[in-house]
Amino acid sequence: MMYGSMCEVNLLHQTKYWTEVLTTQAASKPTLMNLSMDFKIGTPHSIWSTTHASFHDIRKSILKANLITSVFIFQANKSRFNKYTVDPTCPVCGSGAETLQHFLLHCDTLRVERDRWMVPIRDFFTEVADKSHWALLLQDDFRIARFLLDCTNFTDEYPVLKKPHIQMQLEFLTRNLCFDLHRARINALSFK
Ligand SMILES: [Zn+2]
């Protein structure tokens, strides 16, 4: 075997090994429950492969990555980290604990921004996938949040989501949803 071919085989083995190590370790972390485990070392996540090289787009993708990996801290997280001595109530609307799902799906103060993007997300999803499944996704807060944060979580259920141009459009819509919700949250908090 030529030296170049041996290097390639070695690199392939190493990539496979480290991808398995990373996937196994990531699957055991509750903070990564919204991240698809279908990734490979050397292949960028769809968040990054669909991001344009503009300051605004990169900012939006960084926020989305922080939400997916639980780096973004909500009031309910603060409460848990402080052994429940901190009030978990949403500081924006004052109704219910401020969790990731509350922020994405229920906080009433953020309704206008949510509707602005959820309607096109719903329309796009029902156009490319099974219509009846949108209602099923919405029935479960954890499922719809996982879908909005990383649609590649659902490529087994909806193989159409493997197509790069579908991922591109869904990432564009969900990136903007997350960012506009975040901006509205910051604005609302600045008036408190
Ligand atoms: Zn709220």
Q: Which residues hold their Cβ within 5 A of ligand 1, which is an ion?
A: 90, 92-93, 107
Q: What backbone phi and psi angles, to 5 degrees, belong to 94? A: 70, 15
- Here the tokens at position 20 are 């398995």
Return d(Cα 171, Cα 176) in angstroms, integer: 8
Token duo for residue 37: 């485990």
Q: What is the DSSP letter of 73?
A: P
Q: How far apart are the CA of 106 and the centre of ligand 1, in A?
A: 7
Nearest one of 163, 34, 54 to 104, comparing CA atoms? 34
- φ, ψ of residue 7 in degrees (nearest 5): -60, -40
pTM of the model: 0.86
Ligand 1 centre to CA of 183 (Å) is 14
Question: pLDDT of 1-34, one tens digit each?
Answer: 566 676 777 877 788 887 787 778 877 888 888 8
User: Cα of 76 to ligand 1 centre, how many Å?
Assistant: 11
Calculate how far, in angstroms, residue 77's C-alpha sits from the geometric centre of ligand 1. Answer: 14
